Amino acid sequence: MKFNSIIFSVLFFVGSGLIYQSCVPEASANTPAKIETTKQWTTLDNAIALSKKDNKKILVDVYTDWCKWCKVMDEKTFQNSEMKSHLEENYHLVKFNAEQREEAVFNGKTYNYVSNGKRGSHTLASELLDGQLSYPSLVVLDSDLNKLQTIRGYKSPEQLKEILDSK
């Protein structure tokens, strides 16, 4: 008798779990946990290659995973439909994590992560931002990889468009 109770209990809990799982909606790309910025974010290498072909500028978003304002800018500025269209039309877009550990080659030079206590930074982020590591920061490059503009701090869609259009 005790064996039948155990089997019944196991089957009950397994069945309950399956029923619960089928009732809980799956996370989708539209849930707040997964923010899609623009469909055009690409790697730095790819943006450089594309820019050489079409002469578009490159916009590098230098961010960190812990940066609150970077996340707000992803959600508010880069999600804005007018801003997305404007950026995709005029720039090749790159996200660069200033604390990434992977080596990066840019303009013929190799850059690495440098540890500094609990945190560190990537030397490419430091070079792009002229040693002033503040996040979020956007860097605009021309197709020859000359730095045209550095934009520091959170910018609303309207602010960013005005700044980008002024150059």
CATH number of the domain to which 40 belongs:
3.40.30.10
Domain count, the chain: 1
| C-alpha distances in Å from residue 43, one per residue of 49, 113, 129 | 10, 17, 18
Q: Residue 39 — pLDDT band, cuts 50, 70, 90? A: low
Q: Are 81 and 89 in contact (CB under 8 A)?
A: no
Residue 6 lies inside a defined structural domain of this protein: no
Instruction: Determine, yes or no, domain membership for 67.
Output: yes
Domain assignment present for 106:
yes
- Residue 44 falls inside a structural domain: yes
pLDDT tens digits along 55-72: 999 999 999 999 999 999
Which domain does 33 fall in, by range? 29-166
Statement: residue 11 has pLDDT above 50: no
Model confidence pLDDT, tens digit, residues 82-94: 999 999 999 999 9
Q: Is the residue at 23 inside a domain? A: no
* DSSP-derived secondary structure letter, 76: I
Tens digit of pLDDT for each residue in 93-152?
999 999 999 999 999 999 999 998 888 999 999 999 999 999 999 999 999 999 999 999
Domain-located, residue 7: no
Q: Does 45 have pLDDT greater than 60? A: yes
